[in-house]
Structure 1
Amino acid sequence: MNQSVLFPDLQDWDDIRLLVIFPAQVQGANIQCRISLSRLAKLHGEELTGETQVLEAFERCRFDIEDYIEELIEQEKFDEDGGVSWC
């Protein structure tokens, strides 16, 4: 694992865009990362409803999510806003 990409234990549920948003820190810069509800449900293996259930599923899948997001960051696959999304 690349120690230059750090993931603080912070995450928020965006119930408008149906995304979990969480930060990554790369060489002192903060990058906004996102995973869609549909992708998270697929990783978790069941339908998710409500903020509590979504965030609990995110915690259970956190390491897989962080590994994939780290790959996207290393490959510099940034969105137009400088963030990284797994949708």
Structure 2
Amino acid sequence: MNQNILFADIQTWHSDQQAIHFPAQQGGALINCWLPLSWLQQQSECALSTPEAIITTFIEYRFDIEDIAEAMIEDEDFNDNGDIVIK
């Protein structure tokens, strides 16, 4: 794990975007990371229908999700807004 990229234990469900937002920090810069609900449902093989179930499942997969986000940050795979969106 790259110690230059830090992830806070913060995650927020955004129903309008059907995605979970979780922040990362690299060299003092805040990076917005997003995980689509579809990705989480595919990985967990569960239909997640409540915010509580979505967040709980995100936490269960947190280390894998952070590994993917970290690799995307290192590869500078940002979208047009400067965010990381896991696909």
Q: What's the TM-score, normalizing by structure 1? A: 0.97
- Post-superposition shift, 1:45? 2.1
**What letter matches 2:42 in structure 1?**
K
Counterpart CA distance in 2 for 1:32 and 1:43 is 21
Looking at structure 2, the residues matched to 63 and 86 of structure 1 have their Cα atoms a distance apart, in angstroms, of 14
Q: For residues 80 and 28 of structure 1, what CA distance do their matches in structure 2 show?
A: 20
Deviation at 1:42, TM superposition (A): 1.3
Q: 1:84, CA displacement in angstroms?
A: 0.2
Q: CA deviation at 1:44?
A: 1.6
| Unaligned segments of structure 2, at least 5 residues | none
Q: Matches of residues 61-72 of structure 1 in structure 2 within 5 Å?
A: 61-72=61-72
Q: Which runs of 5+ in 1 are unaligned?
A: none
Q: 1:53-84, CA deviations, whole angstroms, 9 ceiling, x for partnerless residues? A: 00000000000000000000000000111110
Distance 1:50 1:31 in 2: 26
Letter in 2 for 1:20: I
| Helix, strand or coil at the partner of 2:61 | helix
Give the residue type in structure 1 aligned to 2:75. Answer: Q
Q: What is residue 76 of structure 1 aligned with on the other side?
A: 76
In the other structure, the counterpart of 2:50 is 50
TM-score by length of 2: 0.97
Aligned residues between the structures? 87
Bigger shift: 45-54 or 62-71? Answer: 45-54
Provide runs of 4+ in structure 1 moved above 2 Å: none
Hey, what does 1:85 align to over in structure 2? 85
